[in-house]
Amino acid sequence: QAVLEELEKVIAPFRDRIARSGVHVRMGDPRKVISAFAVENRVSLIVIGTIARSGIAGRILGNTAEVLLGKLPCSMLVIRPQ
């Protein structure tokens, strides 16, 4: 419940744009859950935030984004921290 409340605070400024697409919350390994959701719902775009991690690939995308890049049946937009 606390996660949903925090998510609501983050998306509040974008509510009008999100209403057209929707927000979906799933629990589990994000690499598996996001990929399965994209397939099941014929998603055309996944937007994912990332943090820099160690290693060359980790510096570019982050572990979850890197794994998803090879698994998703759709486009992925990766947002890096400033």
pLDDT, average across residues 14-18: 71
Identify the pLDDT of residue 36.
93
Express each pLDDT in 21-46 by its tens digit.
667 778 888 888 999 999 999 988 88
pLDDT for res 40: 93
pTM attached to this predicted model = 0.62
DSSP 41: T
> What would the two tokens of residue 32 be?
């598996």
Calculate what percentage of the chain has a pLDDT beyond 90. 12
